[in-house]
């Protein structure tokens, strides 16, 4: 199917970016700020690029209220490389870490970490197909663990922590790939937060790591130079060529979010968008959202009809109306509407409209 205009893209990532930002990038594509070239052609050692990356960091710090004693790193390798970098850099004391498995990505992170130390899955929601977030308390963690690992938003199953677990003095590490900048969180509660950019921030290519100073510098001597946080912390993310274009777009998204009032304003809108969609699903006779109410993601809304063939038809017919990529993750099927920051309320309205129509035709 060909589209002559922009569609509502519900993909889990890469996903929609704000139109205003895309237009700005388009306008600057051939000649950025009178440099006579595109950012993608520009030396990462130039003064112009230095300003781009520095401004991006400054604006992210403002948006997330990142304390001074945290470093912000712009890395490559996706969130997946962090599954390895986290244990390599942080398993430096007892070499124990406790993982909470609330979905596919947490499971993968835990599996990877077992290569490097004594990893325990201390809690999991696998017993109920990852439809809830376990309630964690201090007793769930080994007191000598080097860190505790959680996935704040679970992209595949559509669940999210509604609280930040209290881990006392043990650093809390979280994958925040599908939630970063979607709601206000207190960075100081974490030792390390990371996120791939391709959902709420920028094109794929850059991964953002926010790490407390005192956790840097303990990687074993045989750690590949790229995989030591210290390498990037000491070189302001310019040890080697960074994903320069992605960082530039990220910087534009940060400026855009600041101009709209910041993360609290975005969170309010996200809550309204998600509530509208979940309320409709809960009131319908055809659709069901399997995740328990308290643990529902604001970003990835998972729902099913209970009939696999009907689910498939839903996805195909929605596509014909310009509502794209509503299929659930290839591992679970059903439907998933990823409604990241850049999805406007009109996209939610259009989706609900289509769902109503589909329901009235298919509820016999
Ligand atoms: N963690 C989460 C929560 C994700 O949603 C994803 C990708 N969808 C990943 C990790 C893997 O990210 P990447 O493809 O950037 O390695």
Residue closest via CA to ligand 1's atom 14 equals 78
Closest ligand 1 atom to Cα of 83: 10
C-beta of 196 in contact with ligand 1 (< 6 A): yes
Q: For residue 364, what pLDDT is reported? A: 64
Prediction pTM value: 0.98
The catalytic position among 146, 175, 228, 311 is 175
Q: For residue 92, what pLDDT is reported? A: 95
The catalytic position among 71, 160, 199, 273 is 199
Burial 123-142 (b: 16+ CB within 10 A, else e): bbbeeeebbbbbebeeeebe
Q: For residue 228, what pLDDT is reported? A: 98
Lowest-pLDDT range, 24-38, 80-94, 277-291, 326-340?
326-340
Structural domains for the chain? 8-16+262-363 (3.90.1150.10), 30-259 (3.40.640.10)
Residue 113: band (very low, low, confident or very high) from pLDDT cuts 50, 70, 90: very high
Query: Within a 10 A sphere around the Cβ of 65, how many other Cβ atoms?
Result: 13
pLDDT average, residue stretch 338-355: 98
DSSP string, 95-157: -EEEEEE-SHHHHHHHHHHTTTSEEEEEEE-GGGTT-S-----GGGS-TT-SEEEEESEETTT
Check if the beta carbon of residue 8 is closer than 8 Å to that of residue 2. Answer: no
C-beta of 103 in contact with ligand 1 (< 6 A): no
Asked if 176 is an active-site residue, the reply is no
pLDDT average, residue stretch 293-297: 98
Query: Within a 10 A sphere around the Cβ of 224, how many other Cβ atoms?
Result: 11
Check if the beta carbon of residue 193 is closer than 8 Å to that of residue 336. Answer: no
- Coil, strand or helix at 225: helix
The catalytic position among 105, 273, 311, 325 is 105
**130-159 pLDDT tens trace:** 999 999 988 899 999 999 999 999 999 999
59: nearest Cα among 238, 348, 257, 274: 257
Lowest-pLDDT range, 163-177, 326-340, 344-358?
326-340
C-beta of 105 in contact with ligand 1 (< 6 A): yes
CA distance 349 to 144: 49
Check if the beta carbon of residue 53 is closer than 8 Å to that of residue 75. Answer: no
CA distance 14 to 338: 10
* Helix/strand/coil percentages in the chain, nearest 5: 40, 15, 45
For a mutational test of ligand 1's pocket, the pick from 196, 201, 207, i.e. the residue with the most ligand atoms closer than 8 A to its C-beta, is 196
Asked if 105 is an active-site residue, the reply is yes
The rounded percent of the chain whose pLDDT value lies above 90 is 96
């Amino acid at each position: 199917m060909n589209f002559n205009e922009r569609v509502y893209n519900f993909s889990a990532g890469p996903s929609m970016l704000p139109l205003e930002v895309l237009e700005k990038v388009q306008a600057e594509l051939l000649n950025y700020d009178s440099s006579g070239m595109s950012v993608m052609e520009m030396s990462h050692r130039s003064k112009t690029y230095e300003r781009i990356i520095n401004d991006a960091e400054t604006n992210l710090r403002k948006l997330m209220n990142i304390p001074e004693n945290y470093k912000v790193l712009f890395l490559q390798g996706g969130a997946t490389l962090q599954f390895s970098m986290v244990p390599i850099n942080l398993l430096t004391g007892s070499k124990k870490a406790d993982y909470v498995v609330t979905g596919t990505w947490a499971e993968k992170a835990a599996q990877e970490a077992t290569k490097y130390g004594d990893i325990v899955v201390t809690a999991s929601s696998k017993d109920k197909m990852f439809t809830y977030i376990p309630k964690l308390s201090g007793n769930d963690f080994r007191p000598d663990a080097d860190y505790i690992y959680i996935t704040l938003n679970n992209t595949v199953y559509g669940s999210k922590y509604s609280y930040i677990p209290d881990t006392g003095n043990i650093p809390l590490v979280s994958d925040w790939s599908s939630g970063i900048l979607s709601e206000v969180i207190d960075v100081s509660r974490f030792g390390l937060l990371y996120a791939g950019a391709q959902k709420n921030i920028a094109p794929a290519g850059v991964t953002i790591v926010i790490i407390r100073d005192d956790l840097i510098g303990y990687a074993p001597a045989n750690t590949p130079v790229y995989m030591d946080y210290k390498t990037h912390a000491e070189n302001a993310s310019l040890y080697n060529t960074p994903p320069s274009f992605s960082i530039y777009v990220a910087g534009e998204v940060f400026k855009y979010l600041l101009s709209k009032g910041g993360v609290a304003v975005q969170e309010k809108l996200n809550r309204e968008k998600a509530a509208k969609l979940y309320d409709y699903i809960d009131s319908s006779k055809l659709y069901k959202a399997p995740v328990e109410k308290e643990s529902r993601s604001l970003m990835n809304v998972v729902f099913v009809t209970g009939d696999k063939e009907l689910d498939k038809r839903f996805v195909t017919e929605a596509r014909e109306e310009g509502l794209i990529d509503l299929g659930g993750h290839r591992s679970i099927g059903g439907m998933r509407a990823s409604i990241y920051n850049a999805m406007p309320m009109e996209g939610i309205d259009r989706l609900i409209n289509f769902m109503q129509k589909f329901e009235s035709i298919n509820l016999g």
